[in-house]
Amino acid sequence: MMSAEAMETKKISRLRSRLVVVLVASTVAMLVVLVVLSLFVPRATSSEEQNKPTKPNIIFILADDLGWNDVGFHGSNQIPTPNIDALAYSGIILNDYYATPLCTPSRSALFTGKHPIHTGMQHEVIYGFEPWGLGLEERLLPEYFKDLGYATHLVGKWHLGHFKKEYTPTFRGFDSHFGYWCGHTDYYDHNSEEALAFWGHDLKSGMMTRRDLVGNYTTTLFSDEAVRLIDAHDASEPMLLVVSHSAPHAGNPAIPLQAPDDIVDKFKVENIPDPRRQIYAAMVWLLDRSVGQIISALSRKGMLDNSIVIFSSDNGGAGANYNRNVASNWPLRGGKDTIWEGGVKVAGLIWSPLLKEANKVFNKICSIQDWLPTLLAVAGGKSVDGIDGKNIWPALNNSSRDTYDQILVQIDDLRNISAVRKGRYKFLSGTTWKGRYDVSIGSEGRKGEYDLRGIQTSEAASALKRTTRPLPNKFVIKNLRNLATVTCPPDDDRFICKPLEGEDCLFDLSQDPCEAINLARKYPHIVNHMKSLLATYNETAVQPRNQEGDPLSNPKFWRYEWTNWKDYKDPPHLKSHLVFPEKRLEA
Ligand SMILES: *[C@@H]1O[C@H](CO)[C@@H](O)[C@H](O)[C@H]1NC(C)=O
Ligand SMILES: *[C@@H]1O[C@H](CO)[C@@H](O)[C@H](O)[C@H]1NC(C)=O
Ligand SMILES: *[C@@H]1O[C@H](CO)[C@@H](O)[C@H](O)[C@H]1NC(C)=O
Ligand SMILES: *[C@@H]1O[C@H](CO)[C@@H](O)[C@H](O)[C@H]1NC(C)=O
Ligand SMILES: *[C@@H]1O[C@H](CO)[C@@H](O)[C@H](O)[C@H]1NC(C)=O
Ligand SMILES: [Ca+2]
């Protein structure tokens, strides 16, 4: 038996050891709390700093089918583009910058960083009635930027597939989308006519139709939405805003060129004799005004100093009546849907105070597929494997650095066309549209005056004034414009290449930017080298993803709206009415 005292002692020692356990435990707990607290302390300070995001805002303005010679900075006096020109002269003019011949392939390259031959997007475009899109296995630009903490928005045209909702913008990394899914649309009623008898309304906020906006001009709607997004943006987060304008792509075939009368009236001038080009000029002028409004909104919000602004066309201008449009790529040969320079070398510029160099014409090869790796690198993202685009920032930032020496322009075996660029040489085989566009397309536009004052007083120039990258003086502007203007002698039939007749074409772009002098016979060894380059690219090509049209897509079955029709059960009672038209409209 234990004595009462012994029991007491044991109790006490038990209590003591329990106390020790409690003490040890609470000490550990306190240490944990301290460690956790210490983790929070520096965070609390840095969250204040985070109000000014270190990652740059990225504003990508994509024009649709804008011609090389439809911007003032390439030497035309016809259509004033004071806001775009102000950005060009204050930033860097990209004068050896490639896209692809058409909308869908170019947009796929922009969003994946891959050449379309590697995603199956190389052949033609997606028609609204076709059940295909950019593969869901592809990771898109906005998805990368979401991971980096960006707010991501798309305003405007998509054209990368919509037959199922998973293919549409808000399922592919964009927080919001206001715009349309098809390749073109009426600027007022927002209907898209994709083939005879296949037409429907196509303006949406995310998955919701916006029929309330019938009657409002598309370019203005997109511009206002971009400004609204900037105004409403939480400036503690970085922003990726892609403004994918419909302008100056033609609307539907019945009324291809559309702009408000009061704006068209401005362009009923001697310098623009063609009445259709007067409307086109108004469309481009409104596009330019939108650029000014966006820059101005960024400035008001205090975002401009930490922004990268890129302006680019998605392919060459649609001229000579392609899509019933009247763009000018003069003096370049060819236009939209050709592999000539006029189809693939597009107007482009980058403006950013983050670039150490500005006020220069960049004559190094670069491409629309470079933006994904370039912008990711600047935003501090990891580099991405398995893409074709290259980070061109070091070269933009430092004149002593180069980009790269060669780029595949296009391989489309279904149309027997291919082209590759290496150094100064471009090789080209085959042509489109039976050679209809194998000439220089559009007006020269050299008559009249260049309105320098208009640039200096533009909305963009006023906003740029308050940054470290303002508009340079008029001597610098004139010099840059001269450097960015391409001049070529007129065609001489003795030297012209005729790909339609099966001729191989080789050009020295450094001497002959207009592809007028065929060197293929003179330099057979270079031709062979270029062909072997093409063969190497070709080995890595994947099959085009294009699919036959689906009659059930017809908007007439869906209240005259273009829909993600494959997500719904067929409307079986309507099947007897299905007729699929043979004739498709041009891309
Ligand atoms: C659409 O146009 C009408 C009439 O001009 C205007 O009152 C309305 O504000 C416009 N809506 C938008 C969203 O721009
Ligand atoms: C751009 O160049 C400057 C030096 O001229 C350098 O300090 C800066 O780090 C460069 N930026 C990038 C992102 O390479
Ligand atoms: C620019 O690039 C050259 C060549 O790579 C290099 O020697 C030079 O240091 C760079 N300049 C700056 C300012 O980084
Ligand atoms: C492409 O070339 C092949 C072989 O010469 C020919 O059979 C085919 O019809 C051509 N296709 C087009 C679109 O020209
Ligand atoms: C690419 O390869 C395919 C299949 O081997 C061939 O039919 C086609 O002619 C090649 N195209 C080019 C441009 O080399
Ligand atoms: Ca286009």
Q: Encode the chain (587 residues) as per-residue pLDDT tens digits.
A: 444 444 444 444 454 445 444 444 555 555 544 444 444 444 433 444 445 568 999 999 999 999 999 999 999 999 999 999 999 999 999 999 999 999 999 999 999 999 999 999 999 999 999 999 999 999 999 999 999 999 999 999 999 999 999 999 999 999 999 999 999 999 999 999 998 789 999 999 999 999 999 999 999 999 999 999 999 999 899 999 999 999 999 999 999 999 999 999 999 999 999 999 999 999 999 999 999 999 999 999 999 999 999 999 999 999 999 999 999 999 999 999 999 999 999 999 999 999 999 999 999 999 999 999 999 999 999 999 999 999 999 999 999 999 999 999 999 999 999 999 999 999 999 999 999 999 999 999 999 999 999 999 999 999 999 999 999 999 999 999 999 999 999 999 999 999 999 999 999 999 999 999 999 999 999 999 999 999 999 999 999 999 999 999 999 988 899 999 999 876 645 554 555 445 566 65
**Is 7 a member of any domain?**
no
Amino acid at 254: A
DSSP letter (8 states) at residue 198: E
Ligand 2: residues whose CB is within 6 Å?
356, 378, 393-394, 397-398
Provide the domain limits for residue 466: 60-484
**Is 312 a member of any domain?**
yes
Count of structural domains, the chain: 1
For residue 355, give the ligand 2 atom closest to its CA: 1
For residue 224, give the ligand 1 atom closest to its CA: 14
514 given a catalytic annotation: no
- Reading phi first (left if > 0) and then psi (alpha if -120 to 50, else beta), residue 127 is in beta
Which of the listed residues 216, 222, 224, 228 should we mutate to test ligand 1's pocket, taking the one with most ligand atoms within 8 A of CB?
216
CA–CA dist 193, 525 (Å, integer): 48
**Is 357 a member of any domain?**
yes
> Is 464:90 a contact under the CB 8 Å cutoff?
yes
Residue 410 to residues 105, 415, 462, 553, Cα–Cα distance (Å):
10, 11, 40, 30
366 given a catalytic annotation: no
- Reading phi first (left if > 0) and then psi (alpha if -120 to 50, else beta), residue 190 is in left
Helix 82-90 / helix 474-484 crossing angle, nearest 10 deg: 90
**Is 27 a member of any domain?**
no
Amino acid at 369: Q
Q: Report which protein residue has its CA nearest ligand 1's atom 8.
A: 216
Residue 549 to residues 131, 167, 558, 583, Cα–Cα distance (Å):
7, 17, 16, 11
Which of the listed residues 413, 528, 531, 540 should we mutate to test ligand 5's pocket, taking the one with most ligand atoms within 8 A of CB?
413
Q: Report which protein residue has its CA nearest ligand 3's atom 6.
A: 400
Instruction: Please name the helix (run of DSSP H) or strand (run of DSSP E) that holds residue 152, with its range, or none.
Output: strand 151-157
> Is 461:86 a contact under the CB 8 Å cutoff?
yes
Residue 153, helix vs strand vs coil: strand
CA–CA dist 524, 518 (Å, integer): 11
Which of the listed residues 364, 399, 401, 403 should we mutate to test ligand 3's pocket, taking the one with most ligand atoms within 8 A of CB?
401
**Is 243 a member of any domain?**
yes
**Is 498 a member of any domain?**
no
**Cα of 515 to ligand 5 centre, how many Å?**
24
Q: For residue 567, how many C-alpha atoms fall within 13 Å in the half-sphere facing its CB? A: 12
Domain CATH number, residue 154: 3.40.720.10
**Is 504 a member of any domain?**
no
Residue 376 to residues 28, 61, 350, 353, Cα–Cα distance (Å):
43, 17, 15, 17
**Is 270 a member of any domain?**
yes
Phi, psi dihedrals of residue 304, rounded to the nearest 5°? -65, -40
